[in-house]
Each structure stands twice: as structure tokens, then as C-alpha cells.
Amino acid sequence: MEYKFLVFEQYLAGELLGEELTKFENLLQTDIDFNESFNLYKETHTLLESNFKNKKEQQEFENNLKKISGKHFKKTRSTGSKKWYYSVAASIALLISVYLFYPNSELSYEEYVEYPNVNFTVRGNENTTLLDAQKAFNKKDFDTASKLFSEALKKDTENTELKLYKGFSLIEINQFQEATILLKPIATGSSSYKYTAIWYLALSNLKQEKYSECKELLTQLPTEFTQYKKAQKLLKNLPK
């Protein structure tokens, strides 16, 4: 019997019986390489169970793992190396780490954010600061834009639109607390920017991996909101 990673899985699931179980446990006691590879697999298996959102996602990963490791086992066994067990388990660990530490694009901030072009109404050259803020924002220079919005707001302290886009700029440069201070009053108010502010706050929480807070905000968006379909897609993909 070839002790591929499937046997590790069978052992962890309690599916090995009789002679196969005895042989497996003897190897754990007598073969250091086998023991090390099994313990490594056991650790990565635990990570696997705790990080995938659902059984379907885990099953898809395991199916891919079988294909990849099957080829690797064949190649490694042909070398006759005593450490083939450990080599394969290490490869499995590497593959799992890629899945765990490079997030699913369906939960990525970049997957959902859209960058609006702003076009403020300015008479003549009476507000060059606002025009510069507009230019910086549309060029995605959000650090500069946030500072210029701050300057513009000194002259127009109650301008909700400026607060909204300053808040968005702050999210882009990871100034989450300051963004929340600006956006929350808009989100709880009654202006035409209310639901856009809620959406931006949801995206802010997504970027911070605060999924519960993100979910709570998404449920407040009405069907007529322009980003409703995208919000529902995100809501569906958030961890249960």
C-alpha cells in the first residue's frame, strides 16, 4: 500500500481499520520521516478546516490538491529518496499557505471598489483648492486629495459632498478611523449621499477584514441603490 496523503486523511477521519491501521501506527512509531510528514500534514489540515468558509470551497481545494500531489508523489517516489513523505507533505503545506495567505478575490476590497470621477461646480477661479482636490481625486492621488478636501472644508464646513469624497480618500490611504468620523453622520442622515456613505463604510470594513460590521452595513442598502447588486454579491461571499 502506498502511503500517500490520502492515507493521512483517512487516518484523521478514522477510516483506517485493522491491518492498515496497525501498519500506519507502526510507521508513526518507527519511521521519523513518516512521523514528521504526518504531523506537518495534520497541522495544515487543521488550518484548512478553520479557514475555508464552507464544505464546497474545501472540497474544491482538496480536489486540486489531489491532482497536484498525485503528480508530485509519482515523481518523488521514482527518486527512491527516504524523505519522499516529508517532501510531499511540505509541498502540501506550501500549497495550503498560498490559499490561506492570499485572500480570495471575492473578498477583496479591490474587487468591489469603484472610483468615481468628481466634477465640482466652481465659478471662475474662486476656489482653486477645490479644483486641485478634484484633479488629485480623479488621478487617484488620494493622499493629496484628502488634504485638499480638508482645506476646502475650512471654507465650506457643511458641504456633505466634500465630506463624502474626503472620507473615500481616507479609506484609500487606510485612515479608517478618520474616514468613519466623516462618513457615519452622512450614513445616519437623510441626504442624497446617505447610502453611498453606508456603502463606503462597508467597503472600509471589508478592507479591514471586519466582516461582521461590513455585513451589518450592507443589509441597510435598499434595492434602488446603484451598487445594490454588487453589495448583495459581497454579502453572499462574506463568512457566515
Q: CA-to-CA distance for 202 and 32, rounded, in angstroms?
A: 50
pLDDT at 72: 46
Place of cell 497536484: 68
Q: CA-to-CA distance for 230 and 240, rounded, in angstroms?
A: 18
What confidence tens digit (pLDDT) does each residue in 21-43 have?
Answer: 999 899 889 988 888 878 877 77
Q: Which residues contact 94 (CB under 8 A, 6 or more apart)?
A: none
pLDDT at 206: 96
The grid coordinates listed for 206 are 471589508
Q: CA-to-CA distance for 5 and 186, rounded, in angstroms?
A: 54
pLDDT at 240: 74
Q: CA-to-CA distance for 238 and 240, rounded, in angstroms?
A: 6
Low-confidence ranges of the chain (pLDDT < 50): 1-3, 53-54, 68, 71-82, 84, 101-103
Q: CA-to-CA distance for 15 and 17, rounded, in angstroms?
A: 6
Q: What is the DSSP letter of 188?
A: T
| From-to residues of CATH 1.25.40.10 in the chain | 109-237
Q: Which CATH number fits domain 109-237: 1.25.40.10, 3.40.50.300, 3.30.1360.120, 1.10.3720.10?
A: 1.25.40.10
- Under 8 Å between Cβ of 180 and 157: no
Q: What is the DSSP letter of 191?
A: S
Q: CB neighbours (10 Å) of residue 205? A: 22
pLDDT at 205: 97
